[in-house]
Amino acid sequence: MSAVAAPSPHHRRIAEALRRAIRSGVYPRGALLPSERELAEDFEVSRGTVRHALSTLRAEGVIASRRGARGVVLAELLSFSAWARSLGEEPSGRVVELARRYADAADARRLDVDEGDPVFALLRVRMLGDAPVMIERTTFVESVGRLVATIDLESDSIYARLADLGVVFAQARHTVSAIAADTLDAQLLAVDPGTPLLRQIRRTTSPDGRAIEWSDDRYLGDAVSFVLENSSGSRNAARVIGADGD
């Protein structure tokens, strides 16, 4: 007898249904999602389950919302894993290092901790198929880093799994610039030193404003670019394929 896969938790089912609706244009960028109550009724689940699903979408950068308000669609599939799958690629990661260390001055400034406090630092190369396209250098506050250490970092989306574990991502600030690949970047991405890269500095906070993580991510410019869209209500970025991607 062949094994039957266990059903996904309800919040994952709801998150995937909303992703499909966003991809298909049912909820375009800037649109409001149904309320928690409406979604709970539609999916026949509790509002707590709906909140968990919406937290997953916030972690992926798909929506933004604040307590008591409906989710607003920002940009489709901002997380690396979800974006890669939208291209028909299977995302993966090669962990170079995950280490518990002591916060330096940059960590203290960005994570609102004291220098010398314990933090967790992750260095991971993200892949599309067998090709390296991005380097993640992410530092987590200790409580979140301990959860990261339990995740399958070779294949899982950190942010979706942390949302599953109850870590709520409320807001992220992104700064995008250009940088030349240093020696380690070049080695990890299999390019020449000095190759132009896109650099994204990100700081993410919880609903009560506490820092969760900060990251220095570096992308191959011929694989990934960013589209910035400003409106009166939000500013957001979407990851797209190629320098001229739509």
Other CB atoms within a 10 A radius of the CB of residue 137 amount to 18
Among 39-48, 129-138, 200-209, 219-228, which stretch is predicted with the lowest mean pLDDT?
Answer: 219-228
pLDDT digits (tens, 9 = 90+) for 79-126: 676 667 666 677 788 999 999 999 999 999 999 999 999 999 999 999
pLDDT digits (tens, 9 = 90+) for 208-236: 889 999 999 999 977 665 555 544 344 44
Q: What is the pLDDT of residue 79?
A: 65
Q: What is the pTM of this model?
A: 0.68
Q: What is the pLDDT of residue 233?
A: 41
pLDDT band at 54 (very low <50, low <70, confident <90, very high): confident
Other CB atoms within a 10 A radius of the CB of residue 1 amount to 3
Q: Which residue has the higher pLDDT, 166 or 152?
A: 152
Range(s) within the chain of domains with CATH label 3.40.1410.10: 91-241
**Rg, the chain, Cα only:** 18
For 190: left if phi > 0, alpha if psi spans -120 to 50, otherwise beta; the answer is left
Strands (E) across 103-164 are located at 118-128, 131-141
Among 52-56, 60-64, 90-94, 237-241, which stretch is predicted with the lowest mean pLDDT?
Answer: 237-241
Give the amino acid at 118.
P
State the fold for domain 10-73: Arc Repressor Mutant, subunit A (1.10.10)
Q: How much of the chain, in percent, has pLDDT values that exceed 90?
A: 40
Range(s) within the chain of domains with CATH label 1.10.10.10: 10-73
Pick the CATH number of 91-241 from 3.40.50.2000, 3.40.1410.10, 3.90.1150.10, 3.40.50.300: 3.40.1410.10
- Over residues 61-72, mean pLDDT: 68
Average pLDDT, the chain: 80
pLDDT band at 24 (very low <50, low <70, confident <90, very high): confident
- b (16+ CB within 10 A) / e for 177-211: eeeebeeebbebbebeeebebbbbebbbbeeeeeb
Q: What is the pLDDT of residue 4?
A: 39
Nearest-angstrom CA–CA distance, 210 and 56: 18
